[in-house]
Structure 1
Amino acid sequence: MTVDRLPFFDEGQVRAVLSYDDLIPVIRQALMDFSAGRAVQPLRTVMSLAAHTGWFAVMPAVYRGVMGAKMVTFYPGNADKGMHTHQAVIQLFRADTGEPVAIMDGRLITEMRTAAVSAVAVDLLAPVDAKVLGILGSGVQARSHVQALSRVRKFEEIRVWSRMDGNARRFAEEVGAQVTTAEEAVSGADVVLTLTSSPEPVLFGRWLKKDAMVCAIGAVTPNRRELDDEAMRGAVVVESREAALREPGDILLAKAEVSAEIGELLQGKQLDRRDRPVVFKSVGIAIEDIASAKLVYDRISGGDSGKY
């Protein structure tokens, strides 16, 4: 593939071929492969853009015959402007020759792979009979998570809170949820999602029941957190220990202990819950993006990039 013929797949093309039914198994396998050492992935490089209150990150990985990188921006203030907080592109290369094979929009991939990772975690760690879902946040990730989690659990009640009340009410109408306070959304819930851009805790451990499962998604930089210290005393599960001990304020500010990587648990490692909630702290790692992009490329090209 020569550079002058390099295809670009826009968001519409990505959306046409990417489904949660296909993506969730791919993400599950990628997380297992990562923890088993079957992928190459350095920590992402993050550059702060203080003048614009944003971040720019580069996330490379080599996985199953392809290598690539996602270049992603995070601008929390975009939410107040009606814009996406995350924007991204992904570049794929052949691992054997280094030739570029495709560029694709990465915003939707970021959205969907994040929710797919949570679905994998909920399927493994949440009570099998989970009935009540509490959601803190009402943006893009709230919608994608409801779609993805519907593949692994059948919730009978969904509660939602957001600091943006109008958004919360529109989202609640879309998914058949009830708008509540943050405490009411969490109290008694079997599964709790934190999907906000808040720089300080919105979920407090005293609200959680002992067998609850939390997916903490929104805070991924060292100075931001969504959970308080008490919540972070639950059994903490992460995608990558290395990333978890360098990046998220939820772990760093609470000095929380990491119990396991999700990939280790998927391969049979036992989690010591000790009669406490489980917190899956997700920061997003490059192998998730490259595995998702590989799936998109294979679907569109009609081949199998794994042969590379």
Structure 2
Amino acid sequence: MTALDTTRTSSVWFVRSLAKAMRDALSAGSVTRMLVPPRETVEDAAGTKFISMPAVSPDHDLYVNKVATILASPVPGRGATVTALVPMFSVSTGRHLGTLDGATVTNLKCAAVTALVTDRCAAPDSRVLAIFGSGVQARQQFLGVSAVRELAEVRVWSRDRTRTEAFARDIRTLSAAAGAPVDVVVCDSAEQAGRGVDILSTATTSATPLPVPSELPAHVHINCMGAHTTESRELPAGLLRASVVVVEDLGTAIAEAGASHAHALELDVLVSPASAGFARRRTVFASTGCAYLDLITCAHLVSHTPTPTHA
């Protein structure tokens, strides 16, 4: 497996550079030239899912396929319920180039695409971020948003108070290490956390809409990153209807998140004149994931990882 400097790649600098690589790929049209079939999911009788997400890019000379298993419930003593790997091949030679850890690719991709969308949609003077959730993806939300906005306050809320307080400590440590300490507030409710914020990030496993406060500012930007299906979602349907919704891929969003996303715009709108004025409107990034972003992330990781030397 290809070795990565995880300290370096999880930095704000790396997230910014990966977000720029995504923006450049969208601007140059290399994303439209990729071959990205729908993801395949096979589920067994026990509820375990086996997932395949391939993508081929002639511009990057790269074929990747993120493959994963998702257990229906934890196995005692076995740790995480998700295991993922991303083998990489050269398009021109067919040669196997290495295999990356799927969790690393996913986490960095989510942080970087959050940075890209937030930078194009959130008001330039946004200073207050609320995060619903306290897991791995919640951490990526802080990393992605803080890469593009100078935050003064971060409010955190989740249903597990202990995990929320631990997450708040992590944010304080991360922001201090980056030389940009922020005020972190652990909130007692989602309503308290979200009231009057500039940016709201949701990263939960909730199958029912979260109690998003009704008095969200008209310019608020929302990153909706949690798992959702055609029957379940983190945000109320009315909030989606009243917002400009951006997705990675429209076909995937409709198939996996339902018809409520039928009028969404794809990511490439963010690099076009059509995005002018988004910072003054209510915007929602409703992420369902797409393999073309995994491919760009893999290409960026490989190009920024030193080649091992042998004595």
Report the TM range for the smaller structure's normalisation: 0.7 to 0.9
After TM superposition, the structure 1 = structure 2 runs for residues 56-95 of structure 1, keeping only pairs within 5 Å, are 56-63=50-57, 64-75=60-71, 83-84=79-80, 86-95=82-91
After TM superposition, the structure 1 = structure 2 runs for residues 117-136 of structure 1, keeping only pairs within 5 Å, are 117-136=113-132
Q: Could you list the per-position Cα deviations for residues 16-72 of structure 1 after superposition, in whole angstroms to 9, with x for gaps in the alignment? A: 5633233221222334456861222111112234524x4332111112211111112
Pick aligned residue for 2:42 from 44, 47, 59: 47
Pick aligned residue for 2:19 from 21, 24, 27: 24
User: Equivalents in 1 of 2:89, 2:302: separation in Å?
Assistant: 11
User: Equivalents in 1 of 2:295, 2:169: separation in Å?
Assistant: 34
User: Equivalents in 2 of 1:130, 1:168: separation in Å?
Assistant: 23
- The question of whether the paired residues in 1 share the 8 Å contact of 2:224 and 2:287 is answered with yes
Q: Match of 2:222?
A: 214
Q: Could you list the per-position Cα deviations for residues 242-277 of structure 1 after superposition, in whole angstroms to 9, with x for gaps in the alignment? A: 1111112xxx16x24433112122133246869852
Pick aligned residue for 1:137 from 112, 133, 136: 133
Pick which of 258-267 and 187-196 moved more: 258-267
Pick which of 193-202 and 267-276 moved more: 267-276
Q: Match of 1:288?
A: 293
User: Equivalents in 2 of 1:35, 1:269: separation in Å?
Assistant: 19
User: Equivalents in 2 of 1:9, 1:191: separation in Å?
Assistant: 35
Pick aligned residue for 1:179 from 174, 179, 186: 186
Q: Residues 120 and 270 from structure 1, CA distance in 2 versus in 1: closer, same or farther, beyond 3 angstroms? A: closer
Pick aligned residue for 1:261 from 261, 266, 277: 266
Q: Match of 1:15?
A: 6
Q: Residues 168 and 89 from structure 1, CA distance in 2 versus in 1: closer, same or farther, beyond 3 angstroms? A: same
Q: Could you list the per-position Cα deviations for residues 104-131 of structure 1 after superposition, in whole angstroms to 9, with x for gaps in the alignment? A: 2111110111111011000000011001
Pick which of 258-267 and 276-285 moved more: 258-267
Q: Could you list the per-position Cα deviations for residues 275-294 of structure 1 after superposition, in whole angstroms to 9, with x for gaps in the alignment? A: 85211111111111111112
| AA at the equivalent of 2:32 | G
- The question of whether the paired residues in 2 share the 8 Å contact of 1:14 and 1:108 is answered with no
- The question of whether the paired residues in 2 share the 8 Å contact of 1:204 and 1:230 is answered with no
Q: In the TM superposition, what is the alpha-carbon distance from 1:297 to its structure 2 partner?
A: 2.3
Q: Could you list the per-position Cα deviations for residues 130-181 of structure 1 after superposition, in whole angstroms to 9, with x for gaps in the alignment? A: 0110110011111122122211001111111101111001111222421111
Q: Report the secondary structure of 2:168's partner residue.
A: helix
| AA at the equivalent of 1:20 | V
| AA at the equivalent of 2:102 | G
Alpha-carbon RMSD: 2.8
Structure 1 residue 227 corresponds to structure 2 residue 198: no
Q: Residues 75 and 172 from structure 1, CA distance in 2 versus in 1: closer, same or farther, beyond 3 angstroms? A: farther
After TM superposition, the structure 1 = structure 2 runs for residues 270-281 of structure 1, keeping only pairs within 5 Å, are 270=275, 277-281=282-286
User: Equivalents in 2 of 1:266, 1:28: separation in Å?
Assistant: 7
User: Equivalents in 2 of 1:223, 1:50: separation in Å?
Assistant: 21
Q: Match of 1:239?
A: 248
Q: Residues 69 and 182 from structure 1, CA distance in 2 versus in 1: closer, same or farther, beyond 3 angstroms? A: same
User: Equivalents in 2 of 1:266, 1:231: separation in Å?
Assistant: 24
User: Equivalents in 2 of 1:170, 1:258: separation in Å?
Assistant: 38
Q: Match of 1:106?
A: 102
Unaligned runs of 5+ in 1: 1-7, 304-308
Q: Match of 1:5?
A: none
User: Equivalents in 2 of 1:268, 1:104: separation in Å?
Assistant: 36
| AA at the equivalent of 2:20 | P
User: Equivalents in 2 of 1:82, 1:166: separation in Å?
Assistant: 23
- The question of whether the paired residues in 2 share the 8 Å contact of 1:190 and 1:211 is answered with yes
Unaligned runs of 5+ in 2: 173-183
Q: Could you list the per-position Cα deviations for residues 195-218 of structure 1 after superposition, in whole angstroms to 9, with x for gaps in the alignment? A: 001111114372422111100001
User: Equivalents in 2 of 1:23, 1:275: separation in Å?
Assistant: 26
TM-score, normalization by structure 2: 0.83
Q: Report the secondary structure of 1:183's partner residue.
A: helix
User: Equivalents in 1 of 2:50, 2:245: separation in Å?
Assistant: 27
Q: Match of 1:190?
A: 198
Q: Report the secondary structure of 2:36's partner residue.
A: coil
| AA at the equivalent of 1:15 | T
TM-score, normalization by structure 1: 0.84
